[in-house]
Each structure stands twice: as structure tokens, then as C-alpha cells.
């Protein structure tokens, strides 16, 4: 069974053409994450701290400093980055706010999550800040935001004690 060189070249070209979209998607995602991380690091530097725990999603990233005094949020909107720095010492607690509705089909019920937010509250001044983790209107599917928002909520509440 002898494989001729022409067939080998055609096969290699076809395989590389099939792989190209996946390579471009990976490179685009990696480039976006680098821009988000650069922005988070710059925000930490602006508050004279270092970036500690951080996490990336499709259209936003968030992180804290090493002592959990600041929460940095970067969200991509209309091809530009919107940055928000939250001084956590101004807040006494946080909680997860989930907006959803139920769809009933035959005998089954499906819960559709419309919005996930982290609500930071100061009980003395009644100051509130909402950090949006997911919004159904953005057209993106949930990709770990539900689990992540619970982890961040626990992390922030534990650091407030």
C-alpha cells in the first residue's frame, strides 16, 4: 500500500483548512482574555494593590486584590471595556439576586434565568451596588456564571467578617 505524495499533500491541506476556524476562535478568545486581564491589572495598580483572585467569562471579568478590599469588574459593551472598581469595605454583605420565570409545558416546568446579579449592601447607609454576571438579553448562554456567582458571594461575605 503505497501512499502517493500528492494525496498526502491534499490530505494535509484539507485537515489544516478544517482546523483553521478552531484556531481562530482560540486566538480570539485568548486575545480578549489578555485584554480583560490587562484591564484588571491596571485597575489594581491604580488602587496601589496587586491583582489576586480573578475569573474570566465570555464578555466580562472580575477580580479582587490580595486582601479582598477591592472588587474589580470589567465588562465588554459595544466593543469597548467598561471598568468598575468597588471598595468592599463600604459594604457589609452581599447576596445573589436571580431573576427568572417558569415555563410550563404539558406536565413539566422549566426555569429560565433572565438575570444574575451580585448585590452588595451596606446595612447602615442602605447603599447598594449590583454587579451583573448574566443577562438573557445579551444573547449568550449561561457558562458557569451560576456556580461562580455563588463562590464570589461566599468569598465576599467571608472577607467581610
75-107: pLDDT as tens digits:
888 878 888 888 888 888 899 999 888 888 888
Write down the domain spans for the chain: 5-159
pLDDT at 2: 61
Paired strand residues for 60? 75
Paired strand residues for 118? 96, 131
pLDDT mean across residues, the chain? 86
pLDDT at 66: 80
pLDDT at 15: 92
Q: How far apart are alpha carbons 141 and 64 in whole angstroms? A: 25
* pLDDT higher than threshold 80 for residue 1: no
35-55: pLDDT as tens digits:
888 988 998 889 888 888 999
Q: How far apart are alpha carbons 13 and 20 in whole angstroms? A: 11
Instruction: Note whether 100 and 113 are within 8 A (CB).
Output: yes
Instruction: Note whether 117 and 32 are within 8 A (CB).
Output: no
pTM of the model: 0.77
pLDDT at 161: 64
Assign 119 a pLDDT band (cuts: 50, 70, 90).
Answer: very high
* pLDDT higher than threshold 60 for residue 65: yes
Amino acid at each position: 500500500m503505497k501512499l502517493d505524495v500528492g494525496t498526502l499533500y491534499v490530505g494535509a491541506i484539507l485537515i489544516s483548512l478544517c482546523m483553521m476556524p478552531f484556531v481562530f476562535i482560540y486566538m480570539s478568545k485568548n486575545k480578549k482574555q489578555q485584554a480583560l486581564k490587562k484591564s484588571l491589572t491596571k485597575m489594581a495598580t491604580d488602587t496601589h494593590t496587586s491583582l489576586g483572585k480573578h475569573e474570566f467569562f465570555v464578555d466580562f471579568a472580575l477580580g479582587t486584590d490580595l486582601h479582598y478590599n477591592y472588587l474589580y469588574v470589567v465588562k465588554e459593551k459595544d466593543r469597548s471595556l467598561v471598568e468598575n472598581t468597588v471598595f468592599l469595605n463600604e459594604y457589609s454583605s452581599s447576596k445573589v439576586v436571580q431573576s427568572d420565570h417558569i415555563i410550563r409545558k404539558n406536565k413539566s416546568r422549566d426555569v429560565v434565568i433572565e438575570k444574575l446579579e451580585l448585590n452588595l449592601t451596606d446595612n447602615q447607609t442602605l447603599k447598594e451596588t449590583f454587579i451583573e454576571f448574566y443577562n438573557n438579553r445579551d444573547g449568550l448562554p449561561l457558562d458557569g456564571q451560576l456556580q461562580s456567582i455563588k463562590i464570589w458571594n461566599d468569598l465576599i461575605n467571608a472577607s467581610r467578617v
